[in-house]
Structure 1
Amino acid sequence: MILYHSLGLVAGIVLIIILTARYRIHAFFALLLASMLTGLIFGLPVTDILSTIKTGFGQIIGSLGLLIILGTTLGLMLEHTGSTSVLAAYVLRKTGTGRSPLALNIIGYVVGMPIFCDSGFIVLSGLNKAMAVRSGISMLTMASSLATGLYAVHCMMPPHPGIMAATGIIQADVGKVMLYGLLIALPASACGYAWSLYAGRKLPAPIVEAPDITIPSGRLPSVTMAILPIAVPILLIALRSFLALEKKTSSLAIQTLNILGIPEVAITIGIILTLLSLRNGQASNARKILVEGAEKAAGILVIIGGGGAFGAILAKAELGRHIAENPAITGMGILLPFLITAIIKTAQGSSTVAIITAASLIHPLLPALGLHTPEGNILSVLAMGAGSMMVSHTNDAYFWVISRFSGLEIKDMLRVYTTATLIMGITAMAGVYLLSLLIG
């Protein structure tokens, strides 16, 4: 029996990697086919496989769908209202042109909180080129500094889809994952910047001429209105989580904070704050952004649903109970979630697919790994977030976004940016380990 379960598990993972990395099949169909193949190898009846897939798909969409849609919409609204440009200009004023790589890394970290890393890099690529020309610093250093700042929070912080899905699958506390993820992403981002600065100087790349990216100042929100939609939701969610407000109903204020701190409510407040920053005549743009947000989220949701279906098949076969009999695996603790995610990420390229797949595998193993407590759930999710950073290379769409929008050679990208993601993943995992000593 254990042989069939091991074979089914390996076959499912290999099929996902081959279909997504080699044949560029959409991740949803890869996960769906892997679920069916794994179920057949497990010896489950076809009717059971189909019903389990539908149940797993529906459960994960039900728990995360609204949050993903709202989070995606918030990111798009910040992008289209010019809030990201305002934040970028503000950080640049504070750091100065001479510290342009550091400024871009900080900008990436801040802007990357609500915006996907690939979208964030595209939006900020004009600023990146302009700062490279103004400072005289290599485009390779500048692009990698910006990219690593965006990448750190993308992998470690909800509501980004990968770690948000893992949080839902593992049933970890969203607020604590968000706050701890932000803290761990900070040194990871800093290490990415430090390596970009060091390695980029040894491999100077040509500077691309900066385009004209001037935006009429009258259309841009103030710095306060640009940062509030990011800061307020994070603060509300963190307050609800760390103060355990749901257990304290003694006053109206506490009850109100409890409601406002629900992630879906908090992010909706962020969207409302973004709408308030719109100038006259931009109402039609807001309607277009809302449509775009729903459409973009749909593509993410089907991938997350596919991951939920795959996880349901593994749970149906009680895979965790069989694997838990191996003491070599159970003794690895939080290292196992990290390694599984890192292997899948490096093999097939997508951080989102890697962490969703890994979460489906890890969830039934939590008791055997000693991670079935609330703290253990949080540490498992963060360890998978760290693993999803390793290693971004030529099979990662984000790698090509950086290369194409910066005009960089692949060999230079591999030496600087790819190596930076390796260092970032190890740094993030070290942060998770230190956190485990404090809360584990």
Structure 2
Amino acid sequence: MARLLKKGIFSGHVRSYFMATDNKPGLTDFHALGIGAGISYHTPRLFKHVELGISGFFTFNALSSDLAARDPKTNQTSRYEVGLFNLADPNNRRDLDRLEELYARIYIGHQSKLTVGRQLPHSPFINPQDGRMRPTLTEAAVLEWNEWKNTRFQLEYIFGISPRSTVRWFTVGESIGQYPVGVDLNGKPSQYAGHIRTSGILQAGLTRKAGPLSLQLWNTYVPNVFNLLYGNAEWRSSQTSPAYWMAGLMGGYEEAIRNGGSEVITQTYITPGATAGFVSGRIEYQRPHWLVNLNATRITAAGRLLMPREWGREPLYTFMFRERNEGTGNTTAFTANIRYSPVKNLKVDLGTGYYHLPDVTDYTLNKYGLPAYIQVNLGTTYQFTGLWKGLDVQLLLVRKDPLNSPVISDRYIINKVSMTQLNAIANFHF
């Protein structure tokens, strides 16, 4: 057995992340540098069908402003930088280790597998959202069935989650409310954290390739809380040519289940009887060295589109790094993106977005008090080769401003609009 285990795969990851947010004059600025490293081990197949895996990671706050300090004008703390470490303990600079993967995987048939334990999630709304030091992970039983031609079926039961920006594992109910909770329909601070009762998440997804079409259908059922049905269709003009057109359309419908998570109405995650819907589209053209796309999203006015941010980021085509539209309704968004890759290992991205949201005091449709805004992202990624193979560096510059310069309280501005943010990331995989 020892000889067999030596044939397993060890891998390592070192990561550094510097982030700095420059708010409008008179409001507090924030910055932080996180440094961390981790290691993983995956066994070879045991008894021809079984694989075991384990990984862990530790993070240090090497340098930062006071991430627990409150801005004297707005009483707000760091929104982004604290997420590099532990939201629950902003002053903890060193004890930031986490056991991440710990799973058993059974291979079935020709290409299928069942994975049980702690693992990275892979679905439209429950995903790693890897935009800080460490990703979101789930504790789950996941069946990936790939025995049908051009078709994949995924069925999973999730019973634990360790959200990005935390170091603990939580039950599904406990995980809801680990991030800022926004306000309820009356504008008062939401009270659902620590009060949601659910037995887990049951999720099923079907993906099929049909000539130039790629189709997805997913259903996410959270007993006693909500159900979300999601579909996506993408058409690609060529499967072989490096130059092609792509058109995509997605949509979803959400409804509350039973009491929305709690028998106490003020402690529900979603109001009983509430519904929400959205549609999002993309047109894209890609050719060697270039990619351009135009995107649009509409979240209906029926209600807030809700999905715990602890679980992942929304898959809307108009998503841009450093902001989300989850928690809003009656929202219209447009984005345009361009990517230039002069060589294989270098990418330069420029994106701009227009986001028309309800007024910050329309609490029924604006959970987090986010003003309507415009956003510009400029980023670049370079992957080293040769002696430094495994090293990649990323830079991301973000600017967000309010639409039409409305006169609003600074508490709706700090860390949301009238801000510039710099991100500098380095990863070394070995």
Higher strand share: 2
Tell me which interval the TM-score lies in, with the shorter structure as reference length.
under 0.3
TM-score w.r.t. length of structure 1: 0.25
TM-score w.r.t. length of structure 2: 0.26
Higher relative contact order (CA 8 A, sep 6+): 1
Higher helix share: 1
